[in-house]
Homo-oligomer: A and B are copies of this chain.
Amino acid sequence: MATIRDVARYANVSTATVSRVMNRNGYADAETSRRVKEAIEQLDYRPNDVARSLFKGRSGMIALLVPDITNPFFPELARAVEDKTNLNGYSFVLCNTDNDVAKQLNYLNALQQKSIDGFIIVSSSLTPDNMQSLQVPAVALDRVISPSMPSVTVNNRSGARQAVDHLKAIGCRRIAHVAGLEYADNAAQRMRGYLDAVKQEDWFDSRYIVSGAYHFNQAQEAVETMLSNNPDIDGIFAGNDMMGAGVLHAAASLGKRIPDDLAVVGFDGIALSETVTPALTTMTQPIYDMGAKAADMLINQIETADSTVMTEEFNVQLAERESTLRKAATNEQ
């Protein structure tokens, strides 16, 4: 690898001049400039970014911490962040944390030793205290970590309420809920939205809420049990799409037809919701936009040292699909 010194020698100038020409700052004679560019070309010189980082104290890298990229909600988020960081000349580091606090702190430290420029963090386990050790900007994504930290989220509570209202609108009389991870902020909000919509109903019963821990299998099992014990349930709001798919399987194994015996609404709008049969009605989050927005906010913070704490809440949107498309009922409305 050629260094700046090689280029300088080749062009018969000093390294300072090469640097100036290369970075277009400071004066440079047209002829000198030409010689330098020629030399760069000839030697196929490319500046060493590590040396640059050392000098500048910034590495041009941005990290995204997610619980598990294998969870289908995160790839689209990651893609958005990567696209944006890349577009702005940054490199993209991905970290799977399993929501483990130690792992997260580990990454935070290790990457700061690499002069990382900023973090985007999806976490339901980090506390505001944990953020104290951060020396660089960070944005919380999908889940709030601390009120004093910028964040990008969705209206989980009112979105959940909309989902349940939709089930009511198509004629459901007994609506149950499969809840997500207990300690996750967004799961709690979605349950609250469900309660907003049903707790006044005379049929409401706390046994209509079961936990699926955001997982396909657990949701399927929990729902099979619940449906067996409460055969009059005719609508289910699942806290996310994976669990929605679990509900579809549970229904199938009990011989319930969807949507006529049982209507289902999910939450998230991941690709899976469309590929499942019947296609799953869901509250779609603008996942890509959320990731992109978080990246924008972070880059803005990095480059302008603007420290106002921005907070962005996106709206979810109902995507009506087969799992709630009742031939008769929809016309009735």
Residues of A within 8 A of B (CB): 1, 46-51, 53-54, 59, 61, 68-70, 72, 74-76, 78-79, 82-83, 91-96, 109-115, 135, 216, 242, 245-246, 248-249, 252, 271-272, 274-279
Contact = CB atoms under 8 A, between A and B. Distances in A.
Contact of A78 (B51, B53, B69, B248): B69
A94 B94 contact: yes
Given A91-B111, A114-B49, A277 B276 contact: yes
Q: Copy number of this protein in the oligomer?
A: 2
A111 B50 CA distance: 10
Contacts of A83: 96
A279 B91 CA distance: 39
Contact of A96 (B59, B72, B82, B248): B82
B82 A49 contact: no
A168 to B, nearest CB: 25
A45 to B, nearest CB: 11
A78 B66 CA distance: 13
A95 B92 contact: yes
A78 B72 CA distance: 13
A278 B113 CA distance: 49
A309 B319 CA distance: 50
Interface centre among A96, A109, A252, by most chain B C-beta atoms within 10 angstroms, is: A96
A115 B277 contact: no
Nearest to A57: B50
A242 B275 contact: yes
Contact of A275 (B46, B75, B96, B276): B276
A259 to B, nearest CB: 13
Contact of A109 (B46, B70, B91, B277): B46
A59 B69 contact: no
A76 B70 CA distance: 6
